[in-house]
Structure 1
Amino acid sequence: MKKYDLLILGFGKGGKTLAKIASAQGKKVAVVEQSQKMYGGTCINIGCIPSKTLVHEGLENGSFDQAFNRKAEVVSALNKKNYHNLADDENITVLDYKAAFKSNTEVDLLDEEGKAVDTLTAEDIVINTGATPVIPDINGINESKYLYDSTGIMNLSEQPKRLVIVGGGYISLEFASMFANFGTEVTVLEAHDGLMPKEDEEIVSQAVKDLEDKGVKFELGTQTSAFEDKDGHTVVKTNNGDFEADAVLLAVGRKPNTDLNLESTDIKLGERGEIKVNNQLETDVNHIYAIGDVKGGMQFTYISLDDFRIVKDKLFGSGDRTTENRGAIPYTVFIDPPLSRVGLTAKEANEQGYEIKEGKLPVNNIPRHKINNDPRGLFKAVIDAKTNKILGATLYGLQSEEIINTVKLAIDQNLDYTVLRDNIYTHPTMVESFNDLFNV
């Protein structure tokens, strides 16, 4: 049995960053990663980086082949860089095995046949194994040759003429927008009666119309019942009729990857299968932590990075940093144009009893839109009328993924909305819209 100071299961954002920090402290670290294709974690290999590269290329040139070739080059380069960043460190050992807990203090390394080839132990253990796609129980799902999850759809060798997406969540909409930009006929099958139910209704309405204008078709209230392969394609059978597709994307969500033989430990799982942790990311075993998607909550790489900061502070600092003081969390849905959000919508603020003021600014009133040659979009901001504090903002339009971070900073610093309203911004830019958006 080999002993380390720190054992990290999974090569994700939080884990790999913690490994380097621990190494700099002179700690001996082992990082266990089951797949060489996942060096660096979900984000750079099968998540943010490849998908946003495809989004960017689709907007820039609309060439499927060029976009997918560049995506492969980007992923390969980052995968290798991440591997060597850890493996070339004298204090870090990268181990290509599947991890399985033997007890609260021991972790077996399993080979491809599931046989234990070694056992590791460490003073501290961090679980950073991410999430996996949810595969629904639908007839024909195991037999069809044309079904893909979000990873598989980014490795297609040929562009599908017709793409059907089962599920209408954020990931679904990003792929719908992306493939529509390549010229693929896209149909989204959503079981519920609406899309993005947590977002501002007026902005959702505009976003859906913009997607429809580029050819995306939405079939709401549609339950998928079966897949049946025909000659060179598959038929998606639903309560609203049949849909033919050259490729089908299953996008009904992701679940925590807890296939670690946790039954041999005192680690507890939550209602959605996530590893339960406290506000310092400790599991029910006080020397074992869980970070990133595997612990549930928002599945963003920057959450994993902030999880790293919390565990770093617990292991090497004051221990003051927790999930309760990380501030507001912004996010972006990378449709075309992008939809970005932080904090509350007006509806949510009203439901929570706030008296609000709401700023609203169509993108076609922002001078920069002429340069961008894109008038689509709407910016909204929600203000607490009693305190002048910013409660939230939803920005739908070009470059919103950048400027939403300024609103997040203002919220975290407890600034009055007038600070953003009266600030001097460079011109012509999208962020100067805040002079008007916050003029409420």
Structure 2
Amino acid sequence: MKKYDAIIIGFGKGGKTLAAELAGHDWSVAMVERSDKMYGGTCINVGCIPTKALIHSAGLAAAGHPLTFEQRRAYYKEAVAAKTALVGLLRDKNYHKLADDPHIDVYTGEGRFLSPETVEVKSADGSVQIGAKRIVINTGAETVLPPIAGIAGSKRVHTSTSILELDELPHRLVIVGGGYIGLEFASMYASFGSEVTVLEGFPELIPREDRDIAQAVREVLEKKGVSFRMNVKVESFRDTAEGVSVAVSQDGAASLIEADAVLLATGRKPATAGLNLEAAGVKTNDRGAIVVDEHLHTTAPNIYAIGDVTGGLQFTYVSLDDYRIIRDELFGDGARTTANRGPIPYSVFIEPPLSHVGMHEEEARKAGRNIRVRKIAVAAFPRARILGSAEGVLKAVIDADNDLILGCTLFGAESSEVINTVALAMKQGVTAHELSNSVYTHPSMSESLNDLFA
């Protein structure tokens, strides 16, 4: 059995960055990845990069001259091919960045614990056992498949992973789930030219957001042609010669929806199946996430868990910050933790993007905070008019007692960039007055902060 200073299970953002860091300190490292299609992790292969590449292409299609559906189909096929080429390039680059390092061995196969310090890697060529004093679990998350009849064996029902390989633009697309992933794909496919119907089992979309923001998002997507059906229960799917038949019930009435494809956007869960965590003494919680402390230690003293598998926010940049926490413990003063990393911003890449950091208004009021709320229409700013994207609203939640920023929601053009400025201001304790009185370039969306925090 070959022994290493560290074993990392999962080639995601935090894991691959940590592997390179450890190698730079002359540690011997084993990187275990179950699929040669996942070198570099979820973000590069089936997450951020391919989806945002297609969203960019969809935006160009929507902004161009009127196209027939056949022209849109041809354009979509080209966009998918370009996305595939980009992903292949980045996957190869990520593989060689680690595999070419003399301190790192890359194992392609399923990893499972035999003990707290031993991992077995099974591949098509057999199995091998490797050992280390420190092991990091970075296996990410996987799609939740709801118990709906007809999913198994269907060629028309897709997950957010498999639909990225679909090179034929569906004329009619049904999306099951009105959360962030579902809305992102709804916006993208509507821009490409599909007729999109979103089926949501609850009475409201994106429940984490304030209701005024959720309503603004719905109105913008409806203008793009997206249809919403709320309080719907999906009963079954059935592939037909022409597409797929979706049986639903709503308010006690049954009906059928005909589509060319279905996307299941019903959430993601920590990917721990097959790891044999019991053999390592690693515990999970009632949601299947690996239990960690603020330094990302699991219940096994020598084993860490980072990224989506811990059940926290499922963002690649959170996984990257998890790497920094471990790096700081191993080579720094150990002061960095999950508890002190500050507010985490996020963006949903619908068109225009929806971005947020900190507390929502409803959350702040329920917490009993004394707040003032500022809202401004995106249309008020010249940059939005220049970009031809004047829809949306900006919203700030400010502590009325000390002028500190509690939260901010930006639903508008270039919000995914501007939100980072607000997040940094919040982490550094910059007041709303100070942010409002800063100097920003013109015309830019950043200058909206002058008015929003006034």
TM-score, scaled relative to structure 1: 0.98
Match of 2:385 in 1: 370
What code does the residue aligned with 1:271 have?
A: D
Whether 1:30 aligns to 2:42 is no
Structure 2 residue corresponding to 1:221, chosen from 227, 231, 235: 231
Match of 1:242 in 2: 256
Please state how far the C-alpha of 1:66 moved relative to its aligned partner. Answer: 2.4
Please state how far the C-alpha of 1:67 moved relative to its aligned partner. Answer: 1.6
Gaps of 5+ in 1: none
Q: Distance in 2 between matches of 1:71 and 1:48?
A: 11
Residue 325 of structure 1: SS of its match in structure 2? coil
Count of residue pairs brought into register by the alignment:
437
Match of 1:352 in 2: 367
Conserved in 2, the CA contact under 8 Å of 1:101 and 1:265? yes
Q: In structure 2, do the counterparts of structure 1 residues 159 and 149 end up closer, same or farther at CA, with 3 Å as the change threshold?
A: same
Whether 1:86 aligns to 2:98 is yes
Moved more, 227-236 or 286-295: 227-236
Match of 1:311 in 2: 326
Q: Distance in 2 between matches of 1:323 and 1:200?
A: 26
Q: Distance in 1 between matches of 2:263 and 2:339?
A: 36
Residue 235 of structure 2: SS of its match in structure 1? strand
In the TM superposition, what whole-angstrom CA distance separates every residue of 1:348-402 from its partner, at most 9, and x where no partner exists? 1111111111111101111212211221010000110001100000000000000
In the TM superposition, what whole-angstrom CA distance separates every residue of 1:201-247 from its partner, at most 9, and x where no partner exists? 11211110110111111110001011112113110101032111111
Structure 2 residue corresponding to 1:297, chosen from 305, 309, 312: 312
Please state how far the C-alpha of 1:59 moved relative to its aligned partner. Answer: 0.3
Please state how far the C-alpha of 1:272 moved relative to its aligned partner. Answer: 0.5
Please state how far the C-alpha of 1:126 moved relative to its aligned partner. Answer: 0.3
Match of 2:111 in 1: 99
Match of 2:71 in 1: none
Match of 1:108 in 2: 120
Structure 2 residue corresponding to 1:152, chosen from 143, 147, 162: 162
Q: Distance in 1 between matches of 2:182 and 2:87?
A: 21
User: Counterparts of 1:266-345 in structure 2 under 5 Å?
Assistant: 266-345=281-360
Please state how far the C-alpha of 1:157 moved relative to its aligned partner. Answer: 2.0
Q: Distance in 2 between matches of 1:111 and 1:50?
A: 27
Residue 140 of structure 1: SS of its match in structure 2? coil
Q: Distance in 2 between matches of 1:332 and 1:144?
A: 32
Please state how far the C-alpha of 1:312 moved relative to its aligned partner. Answer: 1.0
Moved more, 255-264 or 380-389: 255-264
Q: Distance in 2 between matches of 1:394 and 1:273?
A: 30
Q: Distance in 2 between matches of 1:12 and 1:279?
A: 20
Gaps of 5+ in 2: 63-74
What code does the residue aligned with 1:180 have?
A: A
Q: Distance in 1 between matches of 2:234 and 2:374?
A: 40
What code does the residue aligned with 2:23 have?
A: S
Match of 1:65 in 2: 77
Conserved in 2, the CA contact under 8 Å of 1:342 and 1:404? yes
Match of 1:405 in 2: 420
Whether 1:385 aligns to 2:395 is no
Match of 2:270 in 1: 256
In the TM superposition, what whole-angstrom CA distance separates every residue of 1:49-97 from its partner, at most 9, and x where no partner exists? 1001111110013531222121111101100000010001110111111
Q: Distance in 2 between matches of 1:104 and 1:64?
A: 48
Please state how far the C-alpha of 1:129 moved relative to its aligned partner. Answer: 0.5
Residue 37 of structure 1: SS of its match in structure 2? coil
Residue 323 of structure 1: SS of its match in structure 2? coil
Please state how far the C-alpha of 1:11 moved relative to its aligned partner. Answer: 0.3
Moved more, 57-66 or 208-217: 57-66
Please state how far the C-alpha of 1:197 moved relative to its aligned partner. Answer: 1.1
Q: Distance in 2 between matches of 1:143 and 1:153?
A: 15
Conserved in 1, the CA contact under 8 Å of 2:390 and 2:413? no
Structure 2 residue corresponding to 1:129, chosen from 133, 139, 142: 139
Structure 1 residue corresponding to 2:206, chosen from 172, 196, 199: 196
Please state how far the C-alpha of 1:99 moved relative to its aligned partner. Answer: 0.3
What code does the residue aligned with 1:16 have?
A: K
Please state how far the C-alpha of 1:42 moved relative to its aligned partner. Answer: 0.2
Conserved in 2, the CA contact under 8 Å of 1:339 and 1:396? yes
Structure 2 residue corresponding to 1:176, chosen from 179, 183, 186: 186
Q: Distance in 2 between matches of 1:227 and 1:85?
A: 43
Match of 1:53 in 2: 53
Q: Distance in 2 between matches of 1:118 and 1:41?
A: 22
Q: Distance in 1 between matches of 2:123 and 2:97?
A: 24
What code does the residue aligned with 2:354 have?
A: L
Conserved in 2, the CA contact under 8 Å of 1:200 and 1:346? yes
Q: Distance in 2 between matches of 1:378 and 1:25?
A: 48
In the TM superposition, what whole-angstrom CA distance separates every residue of 1:292-348 from its partner, at most 9, and x where no partner exists? 011111100000000000111122221111100110000011111000000111111
Please state how far the C-alpha of 1:253 moved relative to its aligned partner. Answer: 0.5
Q: Distance in 2 between matches of 1:262 and 1:197?
A: 33
Please state how far the C-alpha of 1:275 moved relative to its aligned partner. Answer: 0.6
Q: Distance in 2 between matches of 1:111 and 1:21?
A: 27
In the TM superposition, what whole-angstrom CA distance separates every residue of 1:249-306 from its partner, at most 9, and x where no partner exists? 0110011110201121211001100011111000011110000011111100000000
Please state how far the C-alpha of 1:150 moved relative to its aligned partner. Answer: 0.4
Please state how far the C-alpha of 1:412 moved relative to its aligned partner. Answer: 0.3
Q: Distance in 1 between matches of 2:246 and 2:57?
A: 29
Runs of 4+ in 1 over 2 A off after TM superposition: none
Residue 223 of structure 1: SS of its match in structure 2? strand
Moved more, 79-88 or 53-62: 53-62
Please state how far the C-alpha of 1:30 moved relative to its aligned partner. Answer: 0.6
Conserved in 2, the CA contact under 8 Å of 1:200 and 1:394? no
Q: Distance in 1 between matches of 2:293 and 2:107?
A: 28
Match of 1:40 in 2: 40
